[in-house]
Chain A
Amino acid sequence: MWGCEIRLFFNKKNIVTLIIGMLICICFFAMKYEKKYSDYKSDRLDEIEVENRQIDIWIDYYKSELESNMSYKIAKQSMPFRMELEGDSQEAILYNLWKDYEQKNMLTKRNLQSDKYDEAKIGEYDIEFDYKLGQVKNVGSLIDYTKLFRNHYDDWQKRMVLHKKYKDENIVEPSVKIKPTGSYVVSDMISGTNPILVTVLLYVFLINFEIYPSEYEREMNVQLKILPSNTYYFVLRRIMIRSICSVFEVMLCFIELFVLGTIKYGSGLESFEIVKLREGYIAVSIRILLLKELLYLVLLIMFFTTLTLFISMWQKDVMNSFVVISILLMCAIMSIGEKISKCNPFVTLRISEMSHGYGKIGLLKSGGYLVLWSVIICMIMMLLYEKRED
């Protein structure tokens, strides 16, 4: 009966859905990731223009601050291009850093505009500047507000951890973070900050929602219930097979994305990602992170398959099942921005936070909750199937 259950899963509808899903993945890869990467040059140039306006403001500000300082006037006579004072003042350090920022942007812009654009150089300029930012001893709200740290001070700290990790491992740090390597694309897709995750859950619903309503419609439940076997067994077997098959279909789509990215841009498996722990940031290999995210995704798919089967068994009707699932999905989407609650399984959509340890719950606990919820729903299904009079 296992073989028949698998054949029931891989019906025409599900095979067509899989093919459409894989085509959507190809389109998504091309239209989102590849396009973003191909627009990198122009987007980066636009960013530089905006940054340069800010840089000008702050250079003028700190220059005027220094000009009011007598020591500056004396130093300027001896070293007109650099402010190097004995015991550099915060203003002097910041003035020099803004000048370096300006210099960095100029070099980057020149590189981007040249015919022989060198992607690696962009990374080198950024890393060099990041190391210089270490001179800033006191980071107050004013300095953080200025985005000197290329966003916030926190972001700079993360970048420094990453730079040091690559340096220690003697690996060339990727210059363009949005390059659609295999691992980057897959990791971004399942990070939970991407609407594709909700699409995955909807996909899982589409491939599982009809089995119980169609059985009730054709009174197959009669034939199954008069079998001498325990009815709990039928429910459990169906959940197991459908969960595994759903995971298989979803993974096929992600494997496709990984292969597409790897063929064109490399696997990116040698790179690192930042994880926030209680004690601070650490750099973790993307391989480990991907494994965790994929494991978590597997648990999420299994949970959602169980939930879909439960709702369709409970409702016995396709349209009603669809309405209930849609309501649940909307709650899920709305809860993405909410404070994490241990009782809400839908916060588990924030996979990146779970796997990166950002959330209060963390991967182990949230994975555990998914398993627990799945088991509870499975038990309810068994009871419902056994006790309900159809």
Chain B
Amino acid sequence: MKVLEVNEIYKKKDKKSILKGISFDIGEKEVVGLLGPNGSGKSTTIKSICGLYKPDNGTVNICGFDVKKARKRAMENLGVAMENPSLYVELTGFDNLKMFAIERKVSKERLDEIIELIGLSDNIHRKAGTYSQGMKMRLNLGLAIMHKPKLIILDEPTNGLDPDAVFQLRSIIYRLREDGSSIMFSSHQLSEVEKIADRIIAIDKGKVLSQKTIIEIKGKYNHLEDFYKGLYN
């Protein structure tokens, strides 16, 4: 079953075409990297998948549920961590998690498991405003994964992270895939994409330029960076 199906989505904003027929899909337990330069339409694509933008044309299905017509069922299978950690800085890390855990009907045991997974056990009762960037990112990730969604979208998850935090993120993503989730993440860190992703989707000017597995890319190029340069230059 396809966890995510994006079918010919078009989107205009302020009379400017941002997306021009984006189509791709993601299978089960797949990690997909979304590549593209700034202004290529990555964020718009992600927001259209999340239902934050309503595409002018086309459909988005998450686990077979149309985001527009069966929004509730689609959102039950989706977890998102945007580039800027979405946190209430006035609340503790625990309160931030609990707030969404109640809405998502996540059990206390699962909540404890998540706190352990994201490595914030010692700091969970501190105000989120006092967290470092890495801690905020991990808490943000916790919000996205607490309900065991089939599809997890991470927008620039490695931004502002030190190497240790990047390693931790990588191991969390592997763990999530083992647990049955598919992950789509956008990143400018090509070395990380190369290490983590099974497949990449490259977009530019609102169109999909290429969809290839990492194995296919490495078969032809030494590194993902060479592929990227060849594609965009």
Q: Which residues of B are found within 8 Å of A7, using beta-carbon distances?
A: 90-91, 95
Question: Is B52 close to A, CB under 8 A?
Answer: yes
Question: Is A390 close to B, CB under 8 A?
Answer: yes
Q: Which residues of B are found within 8 Å of A225, using beta-carbon distances?
A: 50-52
Interface readout for A353-390 with B: 1 if CB under 8 Å, 0 if not? 00000000000000000000000000000000000011
Q: Is the CB of B85 within 8 A of A390?
A: no
Chain B residues within 8 Å of chain A by Cβ, number: 30
Question: Is B167 close to A, CB under 8 A?
Answer: no
Indicate whether A228 sits within 8 Å of B76 (C-beta atoms), given known contacts A1-B103, A4-B99, A390-B52: yes
Q: Which residues of A are found within 8 Å of B85, using beta-carbon distances?
A: 218
Q: Is the CB of B90 within 8 A of A222?
A: no
Question: Is B118 close to A, CB under 8 A?
Answer: no
Picked from B53, B82, B89, B91, the residue with its CB within 8 Å of the CB of A389 is B53
Q: Which residues of B are found within 8 Å of A223, using beta-carbon distances?
A: 80, 86, 100, 143
Q: Which residues of B are found within 8 Å of A227, using beta-carbon distances?
A: 75, 100, 103-104
Interface readout for A1-37 with B: 1 if CB under 8 Å, 0 if not? 1001001100110000000000000000000000000
Residues of B88-134 whose CB lies within 8 A of A:
88-91, 95, 98-100, 102-104
Q: Is the CB of B52 within 8 A of A8?
A: no
Bound CA span A218–B73, Å: 26
Bound CA span A220–B95, Å: 14
Picked from B71, B72, B86, B91, the residue with its CB within 8 Å of the CB of A222 is B86
Question: Is A229 close to B, CB under 8 A?
Answer: yes
Picked from B47, B73, B76, B88, the residue with its CB within 8 Å of the CB of A8 is B88
Question: Is B54 close to A, CB under 8 A?
Answer: yes
Bound CA span A141–B224, Å: 98
Q: Is the CB of A11 within 8 A of B87?
A: no
Closest A residue to B144 using CB positions: A223
Q: Which residues of A are found within 8 Å of B50, using beta-carbon distances?
A: 222, 225-226
Closest A residue to B147 using CB positions: A228
- Chain B nearest CB from A284 CB (Å) reads 45
Q: Is the CB of B82 within 8 A of A8?
A: no
Interface readout for B14-38 with A: 1 if CB under 8 Å, 0 if not? 0000000000000000000000000
Question: Is B78 close to A, CB under 8 A?
Answer: yes
Interface readout for A222-236 with B: 1 if CB under 8 Å, 0 if not? 110111110000000
Bound CA span A198–B76, Å: 45
Q: Is the CB of A218 within 8 A of B90?
A: no
Bound CA span A219–B83, Å: 9
Question: Is B189 close to A, CB under 8 A?
Answer: no
Residues of B152-199 whose CB lies within 8 A of A:
none
Question: Is B84 close to A, CB under 8 A?
Answer: yes
Q: Is the CB of B52 within 8 A of A222?
A: yes
Closest A residue to B95 using CB positions: A4
Inter-chain pairs besides A7-B95, A227-B100, 4 sampled, C-beta below 8 Å = A220-B86, A223-B86, A226-B50, A227-B103
Residues of A within 8 A of B (CB): 1, 4, 7-8, 11-12, 218-220, 222-223, 225-229, 389-390
Closest 4 CB pairs of A and B: A4-B99, A223-B86, A228-B75, A11-B90
